[in-house]
Structure 1
Amino acid sequence: MARAIILMADSLGVGAAPDAEQFGDLGANTLAHLLAAYKEDKGEALPLPNLTKLGLVDACEAAGKEACEVAERSAPKAAWGYAKELSSGKDTPSGHWEMAGVPVLFDWGYFPNTQPCFPEEFVTELCKRAEIPGILGNCYGSGTVILEQLGEEHVKTGMPICYTSVDSVFQIAAHEQSFGLDKLYQVCEIARALLDDMNIGRVIARPFIGTSSADFMRTGNRRDYSVLPPAPTLLDKLAQDGGEVISIGKISDIYAHQGITQKHKAPGLMNLLEKTSEIIDSAPDHSLIFTNLVDFDEKFGHRRNAVGYAEALKQFDDYLPTILNKMQKEDLLIITADHGCDPTAPGTDHTREYVPVLAYTPGIDNIALGERQSFADIGQTLAQWFNLSTLDYGDSFADDLIKA
């Protein structure tokens, strides 16, 4: 029986989607622009031999109609293409759920870009139930900047830092020692319950450590509190069929722990890749290993660090042979993304982009999958790969892989 591995390269967009202008993202291209920034900074092109061989550069050039310069170029030995998003947003849950066969065809609730931006009644009730003296922030903000601005006041007052963005999200930052990790999680759970009626997609716990604004830094104890997907996903179907759905990183949080049979946390890019490699050794037949590589988005995309993003992508590329060499004959590897986060774009938010669709199984040759009309094509392909019932959305390209 078959196994599958999904490596979600969080935010690795490959060119502005057809509706990017509606989102203020015309001209966005995460991959092409980080490659250009790296060359300008280092004086040489970034080597990505393994991702190039899986078709990443070809997919980006086809999607973004923009040259991508890497240090060495070879013809793909994989199936490669690019997908546009049906869902109404450019947020993490929408991208992940659609990829698993459930696009978000409704509008999320959002907070206005004002200060204060949260409803007074909500803040009052949150403080009352959580027994906190108040909140700081109450605004749109960048997660790192807001720690510099308000971290010391938070430690002094005991008031958590609450902020949002253009995504449907309510984020709470608090110091692990002075405020307490368990207390932070408790406040997030209360906020999650209060925000359900506003249709806010996620509440995120953003714990940090440090002694002052000069050294405050986030920890790996982030936790996402998501609403449930509106319908059963590929993950549910596989779990109900007796398969294993193994979450690595924040995948379980994004799907509100639904359809997950095993959960593994790992801080940082290399730890996530190493945990994935470790699980490949022991995962049984009829299992899906699903890893979110969050650093690309969190540490580099949102922080508009194009060169750092490129260097992290090189780390990913360097590690890929370890995973590829462990794959069995009927294993399928898919590398994709959930949205873009162009580090050269204005602001600090996600960008509405095509995402790469790279599929590799041992013995495959060069297969151009072209433009996919939905991220759900990935879920439909995996449903066929696992001999599950057909999903409501998506067109499978599994036959192309099987013929190869």
Structure 2
Amino acid sequence: MKKRAILLIIDSLGIGAMADVADVRPQDLGANTFGHILDYRPNLKIPNLKKMGIGSVLSHDAIIETHPIASYGRCALLHEGADSYLGHQEIMGTKPLPAKKMPFVGVIEAVKQGLEDSGYKVVIPDQTMPFLLVEDAVIVADNIETDYGQIYNVTGAIDVISFEKIQAIGKIVRELTKVNRVIALGGEGISVEWILSCVERRADGLIGVNSPKSGVYHQGYQVRHLGLGLNPEEQVQSAAIRAGKEVVLIGKMQDVIIGERAKRIVAIETSLVLTSILEALETTSSGLIAATVQETDLAGHAQDVNLYANLIEQVDEGIGKIIEKMTCEDLLIISADHGNDPCALHSQHTRENTFLLAYQKGRSARNLGDRKTLSDMAASIADFLEVDACKNGVSFIE
């Protein structure tokens, strides 16, 4: 039987702050990404999400609850904070490990020594703004675009040093530290001197490269995310590949999820993500098609409610086209990885529950309840495709 699972993640479209935010992220109290967008645009055109049952999990005057065609529920975040990378790993079946929050200055000497022991030339160019310069080409410092003490960036100019060498340095930093993520990244058309000029001290004391200002994303951008204790072989995409099934990773999904024999489609624009899903449905006979719409998250960071609303409408139209192409042997799961409330008093991710919609043609809808982890999606996909179970998550497939 040729079954296909289609997983669509709408990045950052949360449906309300988690119960623990008062204790762990008080800045997120009252956050509700989807709800506040509906406050801003009550006539939001989302006929397909409404038909699937979004009104059964998101209570809002702008949405009249109907008899849904999809099963519906809510997912809590098991990972700490509200992180796209960790959220995606959890979605694909990884049980998050507790990470240590530490600004890079707290480990700088240990990392310097470890890199030197591995044969690298390492200096601290400015003791008043401490970071590492490795091989006169790679900057190791805090990530200043995320929460305090959670991520270290290993940034290089690919015209000067290969991305493979940047990755090798990043892997050593990963081995030496306990933060939840180390990111190795590089771009073309920029100089080491320019990257160094973009090192800044954030108001909370973090020191790192201002990545957008540096231009690292503009030309020939390459990135590798190195998670704490992450084993991609225990995730659903790897289980599907081992079983001989096709796996297609689209958009941000292909950036952050490892799958050695998966087909990868680079796509940032929402229109391209949605078109790529439709094209994959034409060419994929069985297996997993997993995609992430990323521009919604970018709109949240920009606190652009109007843009976010427009993107949701665009995604909803795409969902309708996906449903049209589905057969009775297909499963469609739609959810998010966290929140990013554009109406919050800050421009960072918000720790929110996510909606869960699961649709199969000809199947009756049911209440999937409140799920304890995003990994229930991976467990359900594995169950549906009849492949090895993931390390984390409980299937909702009957």
Letter aligned with residue 293 of structure 1 = V
Letter aligned with residue 348 of structure 1 = S
Residue equivalent to 1:59: 57
Among all aligned residue pairs of Structure 1 and Structure 2, give the percentage whose two residues are the same amino acid. 25
Residue equivalent to 1:94: 86
Residue equivalent to 2:208: none
Q: Give the SS at the match of 1:246.
A: strand
5 Å matches for 1:69-84?
69=62, 74-84=66-76
In the aligned structure 2, how far is the partner of 1:137 from the partner of 1:272? 44
5 Å matches for 1:97-246?
97-104=89-96, 106-112=97-103, 119=108, 122=111, 129=120, 163-164=142-143, 165-166=146-147, 168-171=150-153, 180=159, 183=162, 186-200=165-179, 201-203=181-183, 205=185, 207=187, 218-219=217-218, 221=221, 223-227=223-227, 229-230=230-231, 232-246=234-248
Letter aligned with residue 170 of structure 1 = Y
Post-superposition shift, 1:336? 1.0
Q: Give the SS at the match of 1:397.
A: coil
**Cα 1:349/1:188, change in 2 over 3 Å:** farther
Residue equivalent to 2:203: none
| Alignment partner of 1:345 is 2:344 | yes
Q: Give the SS at the match of 1:354.
A: strand
Q: Give the SS at the match of 2:325.
A: coil
In the aligned structure 1, how far is the partner of 2:250 from the partner of 2:160? 21
In the aligned structure 2, how far is the partner of 1:137 from the partner of 1:245? 48
In the aligned structure 2, how far is the partner of 1:263 from the partner of 1:244? 11
Q: Give the SS at the match of 1:15.
A: strand
- Unpaired runs of 5+ residues, structure 1, are 62-66, 140-156, 400-404
5 Å matches for 1:15-26?
15-21=16-22, 22-24=24-26, 25-26=28-29
Post-superposition shift, 1:32? 0.7
In the aligned structure 1, how far is the partner of 2:215 from the partner of 2:127? 16
| Alignment partner of 1:284 is 2:275 | no
In the aligned structure 2, how far is the partner of 1:136 from the partner of 1:364? 63
CA shift digits 1:21-43 (9 cap, x unpaired): 2222222111111222x33xxxx
CA contact (8 A) 2:37 2:308 kept: yes
The two structures, once aligned, show a CA RMSD in angstroms of 3.7
5 Å matches for 1:370-381?
370-381=369-380
CA contact (8 A) 2:250 2:273 kept: yes
In the aligned structure 1, how far is the partner of 2:126 from the partner of 2:271? 35
Post-superposition shift, 1:372? 1.5
Q: Which is richer in helix?
A: 1
In the aligned structure 1, how far is the partner of 2:218 from the partner of 2:127? 20
**Cα 1:343/1:202, change in 2 over 3 Å:** farther
CA contact (8 A) 2:95 2:375 kept: yes
Post-superposition shift, 1:4? 0.4
Post-superposition shift, 1:158? 8.2
Post-superposition shift, 1:191? 2.6
**Cα 1:344/1:174, change in 2 over 3 Å:** farther
In the aligned structure 1, how far is the partner of 2:222 from the partner of 2:363? 38
| Alignment partner of 1:296 is 2:296 | yes
CA shift digits 1:296-327 (9 cap, x unpaired): 21x21222222221111111112222211111
CA contact (8 A) 1:137 1:161 kept: no
TM-score (norm 2): 0.77
Post-superposition shift, 1:117? 7.2
CA contact (8 A) 2:140 2:152 kept: no
In the aligned structure 1, how far is the partner of 2:213 from the partner of 2:387? 52
